[in-house]
C-alpha cells in the first residue's frame, strides 16, 4: 500500500490569532509540505504580521522561509482588525522572537516557487487579504498552470463580519480576490458560514488543554483564551476561521462541499461582498468549490492532536 505524497503548499497569511493556529496546524501535518510562508498586512499592520509569523514558526522550530509582502491592498485603504486580534495581532500573547525573514518580496518569492514547480505541483493557501497572491499571478499569469488548487479563507454567503455585506479578507482587497477567482486553477472557499461551525468555546478549550502538549499548544491555548467572545454568537465563543482552510488540506473527510459560481462586488456600498451561486440560478460556470459543512468535533480533535505533537 503506497502512501500519498504530502501536498506542497505555499501559505500566505496575516497573523492574526487564528493565522497562528493555522500555521501551527500546517507545520504539524504530515499531509502538508510547507515550502514558503508569505505575509501581508491584514489583521494588523505588516510590521506586526511579519514579526508574528516569524515568532510562530520559530516557536515550532520550523525552518520555512518567511517573506514580507504587501502592506496595503491593490486599491482602497488598509484597516486593521484590532478589536479581535489586539494591537499586536496575537491578542497580547507574547511569543519569543523568531528567526529573521528571508530577503525579498512575497510576490517575487511566490513566482519563483511556482516557476520551479511542475504543472499542478503546488497548492496555494491564502488566509489573508489576497494581495500578495494576486500580485504574483497578475504579473505572470502563465504560472497559474503550476497551481493544483487555491484554497482561501474568505467571503460569506450572507452577512459579513467587517461590513454588513463583506467578510474581512474579501473587504480588504476585493480586486485581488476577483483576480484569483478568475485566474484559472480550482478555487476552494472557506466562508464565514463554514468557519462559524468551528466555534471555540470554554468546553473546547478545555478539550484542547487535555491533550497535553508542549510550548506551541500552550501558546495556542493562551491565544484562544485571549480572543474576546463574539457577539455574533451570543458571546458563547469565537469562530476559528483560518485553521479551517488548513484542515481542508489535511482531512477533507471532515467537510461537505459543492461546486458553485463565485464573484466579488467591487463597487458601491456592498464592495467586498462575495456573490456565491450554489444552485446555478445565474447560469455562470461553477468553477469554485464551497465548503459547506464541518464535523466540528472531528476538527477540534484533529487540531488538538496535531498541535500537541509540536514542541
| Beta carbons within 10 angstroms of residue 267's beta carbon | 7
- DSSP string computed for 259-291: EEEEEE--SSTTTT-EEEESS-TT-----EEEE
First to last CA, the chain: 30
Beta bridge pairs of residue 37? 11, 66
Tell me how far apart the alpha carbons of residues 38 and 180 are, in angstroms, rounded to a whole number: 16
Residues contacting 167, CB < 8 A, separation 6+: 154, 155, 156, 160, 161, 191, 192, 272, 274
Tell me how far apart the alpha carbons of residues 1 and 208 are, in angstroms, rounded to a whole number: 33
Q: Quick one: 96 exposed, middle or buried, by C-beta within 10 A (0-12, 13-18, 19+)?
A: exposed
Q: What is the three-class DSSP state of 126? A: strand
Q: Residue 241 catalytic?
A: yes
Active-site residue, from 48, 85, 241, 257: 241
Asked if 132 and 38 touch (Cβ cutoff 8 Å), the reply is yes
DSSP state of 18: H
Asked if 270 and 165 touch (Cβ cutoff 8 Å), the reply is yes
The residues annotated as belonging to the active site are 241
Amino acid at each position: 500500500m503506497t502512501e500519498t505524497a504530502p501536498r506542497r503548499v505555499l501559505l500566505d497569511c496575516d497573523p492574526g490569532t487564528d493565522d497562528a493556529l493555522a500555521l501551527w496546524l500546517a507545520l504539524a501535518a504530515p499531509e502538508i509540505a510547507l515550502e514558503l510562508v508569505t505575509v501581508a498586512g491584514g489583521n494588523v499592520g505588516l510590521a506586526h504580521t511579519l514579526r508574528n509569523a516569524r515568532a510562530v514558526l520559530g516557536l515550532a522550530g520550523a525552518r520555512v522561509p518567511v517573506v514580507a509582502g504587501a502592506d496595503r491592498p491593490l486599491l482602497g485603504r488598509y484597516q486593521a482588525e484590532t478589536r479581535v486580534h489586539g494591537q499586536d495581532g496575537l491578542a497580547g500573547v507574547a511569543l519569543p522572537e523568531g528567526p529573521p525573514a528571508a530577503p525579498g518580496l512575497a510576490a517575487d518569492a511566490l513566482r519563483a516557487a511556482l516557476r520551479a514547480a511542475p504543472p499542478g505541483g503546488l497548492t496555494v493557501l491564502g488566509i489573508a487579504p489576497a494581495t500578495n497572491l494576486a500580485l504574483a499571478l497578475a504579473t505572470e499569469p502563465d504560472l497559474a498552470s503550476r497551481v493544483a488548487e487555491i484554497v482561501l479563507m474568505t467571503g460569506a454567503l450572507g452577512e459579513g463580519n467587517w461590513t454588513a455585506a463583506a467578510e474581512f479578507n474579501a473587504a480588504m482587497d476585493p480586486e485581488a480576490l476577483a483576480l484569483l477567482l478568475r485566474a484559472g486553477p480550482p478555487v476552494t472557499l472557506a466562508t464565514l458560514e463554514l468557519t462559524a461551525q468551528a466555534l471555540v468555546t470554554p468546553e473546547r478549550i478545555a478539550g484542547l488543554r487535555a491533550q497535553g502538549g508542549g510550548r506551541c499548544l500552550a501558546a495556542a491555548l493562551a491565544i484562544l483564551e485571549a480572543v474576546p467572545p463574539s457577539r455574533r454568537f451570543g458571546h458563547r465563543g469565537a469562530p476559528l476561521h483560518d485553521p479551517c482552510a488548513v484542515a481542508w488540506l489535511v482531512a477533507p473527510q471532515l467537510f461537505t462541499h459543492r461546486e458553485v459560481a463565485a464573484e466579488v462586488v467591487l463597487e458601491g456600498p456592498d464592495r467586498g461582498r462575495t456573490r456565491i451561486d450554489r444552485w446555478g440560478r445565474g447560469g455562470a460556470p461553477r468553477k469554485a468549490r464551497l465548503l459547506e459543512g464541518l464535523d466540528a468535533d472531528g476538527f477540534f480533535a484533529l487540531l488538538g492532536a496535531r498541535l500537541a505533537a509540536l514542541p
